[in-house]
Amino acid sequence: MIPRLSRFQKQNPEIDVRLTASLKPVDFNNSDVHGAVRAGSGEWPVRADKLCETYLVPVCSPSYAASDLPLRGPEDLDKATLLHSLGRPNDWLVWLDGAGFLNVDLETGHRFASSSMAYQAAQCGLGVALGQRFLIEDDLRAGLLVAPIEVPIYSDETYYFLSSPRYAGVPILELFRAWLIAEAQATNGAFGGSASVK
């Protein structure tokens, strides 16, 4: 979302956006949070707008992909340095299972506190991270990352924008919500996902 926020600011220069990152549940009743992006099933006691489904794909830097280590299929990952996100510990297992290849030692490789740290490590040539396609789409287009094994596997998580009932109908929240959904639709169109409004 951060790389695209400049588009929102250009369209709405009078609005200041405050973003925080957290994996904790959002307590809309006891905070001034207007909205939150969360992964899950979509069953929350608040308005939940589907942004996108999660597809996982291995990514690395162009230089890592061009090294002597071939990366043509899932079987080549057993020789690669895997980059793990501690925030999404099962992603490699989900992807390898979906790709039909489980002969990779998932105990090896580097571990990072977040997916964004793993993506940055991949950009620096440290190994192969498992990217959530909608989060890395801009990096792929910019050539910062490549997907040498183009096998996107669906994860069972879907991202939603949750709106606080306390701020329902507030024009600024509705404007940001509409912009975020439009951005998700534009990104999802590139690889077959979807976004919707409830």
For residue range 128-160, what is the model confidence (pLDDT) as tens digits? 999 999 889 889 999 999 999 999 999 888 889
pLDDT-derived band at 42, boundaries 50, 70, 90: confident
Print the SS3 string covering the chain. CHHHHHHHHHHCCCCCCCCCCCCCCCCHHHCCCCEEEEEECCCCCCEEEEEEEEEEEEEECHHHHCCCCCCCCHHHHHHCCEEEECCCCCHHHHHHHHHCCCCCCCCCCEEECCHHHHHHHHHCCCCEEEEEHHHHHHHHHHCCCECCCCCCEEEEEEEEEEECHHHCCCHHHHHHHHHHHHHHHHHHCCCCCCCCCC
Query: What are the sequence ranges of the domains in the chain?
Result: 1-13+33-198
- In CATH, the architecture of 1-13+33-198 is 3-Layer(aba) Sandwich (3.40)
Q: State pLDDT tens for residues 15-26.
A: 988 877 777 888
Residue 127 has pLDDT above 60, yes or no: yes
Q: If you average pLDDT over every residue of the chain, what do you get? A: 89
